[in-house]
A and B are shown apart, each in its own frame.
Chain A
Amino acid sequence: DIQMTQSPSSLSASVGDRVTITCRASQGISNYLAWYQQKPGKVPKLLIYAASTLQSGVPSRFSGSGSGTDFTLTISSLQPEDVATYYCQKYNSAPGAFGQGTKVEIK
């Protein structure tokens, strides 16, 4: 099975900072990569799919890039409401593996 590895596991940044999270697949997955946001105590929310396509209603400060094995999620200007854990996921085939998550906090 393909494994998904995120880095870092957690980060702390100031409001307005640019934040980048990396996700690496153990084998190539083309662009079948999604990012989800899970705020504390809440349900996961789809942010980005096809590596770079923003889901409807997601703020434009979120962006995604990459293809093959290496992907990034970028928050261009961190806001207090972005405090959450972010998960990458490959979705083209079973078992739809998720990364272990990156917890984003405000410094």
Chain B
Amino acid sequence: EVQLVESGGGLVQPGGSLRLSCAASGFTFSSYWMHWVRQAPGKGLVWVSRINGGGDNTAYADSVKGRFTISRDNAKNTLYLQMNSLRDEDTAVYYCARGMTEGSGYYLFDYWGQGSLVTVSS
């Protein structure tokens, strides 16, 4: 059974940093592109970042480029999102999501984690 379990969320002050983790199980983690998607309270879904299976190809939404860094440790089956220079507007539930097809770079997500709430506030 595919499982994605996020951790690391919490309350942080504007300008602060936080690192989210997503522990994966039930599939060959290194074979799949992985993504982060966020949802501000009461709002819609917004794609944030993605990384290929080998970890050497990344992309970011313009709103987080230069502040967030996606990475992965295939030995630990874990995806990360390092978030720096956090702003009020980064407040959201952050979901990790698996790219649907093995080896595919499409932004199509078949499994989602339960989400991790990040609150940026003074």
Measured CB to CB, the residues of A under 8 A from B are 32, 34, 36, 38, 43-46, 49, 55, 87, 89-101
Contact = CB atoms under 8 A, between A and B. Distances in A.
Most buried by A among B100, B106, B108, B110: B108
Contact of A46 (B44, B61, B100): B100
Given A44-B95, A44-B112, A94-B59, A32 B106 contact: yes
B113 A43 contact: yes
A94 to B, nearest CB: 5
Nearest to B113: A43
B2 interface: no
Interface of A is mostly: loop
Most buried by B among A38, A49, A55, A94: A94
A95 B38 CA distance: 13
B100 A96 contact: no
Interface residues of B, number: 21
A93 B114 contact: no
Nearest to A94: B59
A10 to B, nearest CB: 13
Nearest to B110: A46
A107 B75 CA distance: 51
Contact of B114 (A43, A89, A95, A98): A43
Given A44-B95, A101-B44, A34 B108 contact: yes
Given A46-B100, A49-B100, A89-B45, 18 more contacts: A34-B108, A36-B45, A36-B109, A44-B37, A44-B45, A46-B109, A55-B110, A87-B44, A89-B108, A91-B106, A94-B47, A94-B59, A94-B107, A96-B50, A98-B45, A98-B46, A100-B44, A101-B45
B44 A98 contact: yes
